[in-house]
Structure 1
Amino acid sequence: MTVEAPLPADGSVWERLAVLYDRVASVVASSVGTPVLVGSGDCTTSLATVAGLQRAGVSPSIVWFDAHGDVQTLETTTSGYLGGMPLRMLTGYRPELIARRLGLAPVPEDHVVLVDARDLDPPEREYLESSAVRQVPVSALDASTLPDGPIYLHVDLDVVNPAELPGLLFPAPGGPSLADVTAAMGRVLDTGRVLAVGLGCTWHDDSAAATTVRPSLPPGWE
């Protein structure tokens, strides 16, 4: 299904996002117990997905596949791109912006595993070095490196080597193959602890890859 919402014309970007993400969170909350797959063009939708899991009484850990850290803040970003901030917001950064509007509680840093993240800005490196967020390469992700408890599995497809995915908005040279990413996702899903999967598809609108490439998911997650 496609989730839509009428957005306030004069609201701030956070107010507008909150209107849409409140609906997404409600759909996710009502779907817990069946495979929940949320696809979008921006990783900030993860805020709604985690809020929805929490509304259903779940306190999820996070496994976050991304070529980037997504741990920027409004104070450190040089681009102003909100899609570079969601993982930091999920761990409690400035809840007054949107988390409180969604009823989103912070996920403890030691319940978060960041997979790949090969393209980090200096402020992101500084934060990650001092935080309890664990960084793991795709090849090393297995049961021993996963957080405890139920899992929200987030995959920004720019984690894949851009040589295989032309048209990415924010390509990061190098990185794992689509086959390697798919295999690593499978190892997470095989735990039976994944309650929701978020797929971020940040492509140029005219990119053929945007409509033809996606990792293989097991039955029930399609």
Structure 2
Amino acid sequence: MTDHSTGGAWDLIVTPWHLDEHIPAFPVPVGATEVIPPALPEGPVAARMNRLHQAAADVVAQAARPLVLSGDCPTARAAVAGIQRRHQDLAVVWLDAHGDFNTPAITASGYIGGMALAMLTGRTPGLFDDPLDLRPIPDTSVVLADARDLDPAEDDALTTSQVRRVPADPAAITAALGDLGPIPVYLHLDIDVVDGAQLPGARFPSGPGPSLNRIEECLAAICATADVVAAYLACAWLPEHVGDPATRDTIDRLTRALGAELTWREPAG
């Protein structure tokens, strides 16, 4: 595949919320565009999330090469909807300890955050009152790496899908990308893919898994071999830990593997 390691500067975007909850302490790099959460109506969580996603999609659509730092995974639907305004076809590489492939029909917990990849592949119609003009990504254009922590029904859904599942290994991921051909890539990483022992304060630690160093290698390999037109880092730490020095160091390392160098704003107060 072509070497894309110098694929251009990143446009940093911050979406500081988890589902419908604003995270005031979310770290914001210097030069980043922070999506200001709009006023949210009373009512269902999905309706409130949709208002946030509308704002995020508009900001992403204006960025040449967006790198989104977010507090959750579902805002990925906004990122992809924004990217699709410029790219007709898109592949998705999704690195996550979880499959995020639940739907309202099969979820055991009802947690909307566990449906993010299912949203992108068109499996959650009617969940949001505004589809954002999001075009479903075909299963055959999705590479899911790791996904070591799955609910039983979610595992079944992935097994019967055509999503390409691979370990969090640079060679395995780039081989799967090679099978997709020269298609622009949206690269999504949930930090909980990293071994839980290396993620103090994570919302959903998933026990033993690939090291932070291995995930850095995966990101660098993807950027070197694919046309990564957008990337997304789900910074799923608990609110009281999202601004910790250790958290910022992890974000620094992951974004550096993508070719971005961050400088942090000093926290307010």
Does the residue aligned with 1:197 lie in a helix, a strand or coil?
Answer: strand
Task: Give yes or no for the alignment of 1:213 onto 2:250.
Answer: yes
TM-score for both structures, normalised by structure 2: 0.77
Code of the residue aligned with 2:103 in structure 1: it is T
Contact 1:152/1:196, CA 8 A, preserved across alignment = yes
SS in 2 for 1:5: coil
What residue in structure 2 maps to residue 28 of structure 1? 60
1:99 deviates by 7.8
How many pairs does the alignment contain?
A: 220
Q: Distance in 1 between matches of 2:60 and 2:162?
A: 27
Aligned CA RMSD, in angstroms, stands at 1.8
CA-CA distance at 1:192 after TM superposition: 4.4
Distance in 1 separating the partners of 2:101 and 2:78: 17
Q: Separation in 1 of the partners of 2:66 and 2:41?
A: 30
1:12 partnered with 2:49: no
Contact map agreement 1:141 1:184 (CA 8 A) in 2: no
User: Which residue of 174, 185, 200 corresponds with 1:143?
Assistant: 174
Q: Could you list the per-position Cα deviations for residues 39-91 of structure 1 after superposition, in whole angstroms to 9, with x for gaps in the alignment?
A: 11110010001000112233211000000000011122222211100101110
Question: For residues 116 and 37 of structure 1, do their structure 2 counterparts lie closer, same or farther at Cα, with a shift above 3 Å needed?
Answer: same
- Tell me which of 170, 195, 211 is aligned to 2:229: 195
Instruction: Using the TM superposition, name which of 211-220 and 67-76 deviates more.
Output: 211-220
Normalised to the residue count of structure 1, the TM-score between the two structures is 0.92
Report how far residue 36 of structure 1 moved: 1.1
Cα shift at 1:95: 2.6
Which residue matches 1:173? 207
Matched, 1:116 2:146: yes
Identity %: 42
Distance 1:84 1:142 in 2: 22
- Amino acid of the structure 1 residue aligned with 2:56: V
Instruction: Tell me if structure 2 keeps the 8 A contact 1:36–1:221.
Output: no
Q: Judge conservation of contact 2:47–2:129 (CA < 8 Å) in 1.
A: no
Q: Structure 2: which 5+ residue stretches go unaligned?
A: 1-32, 263-269
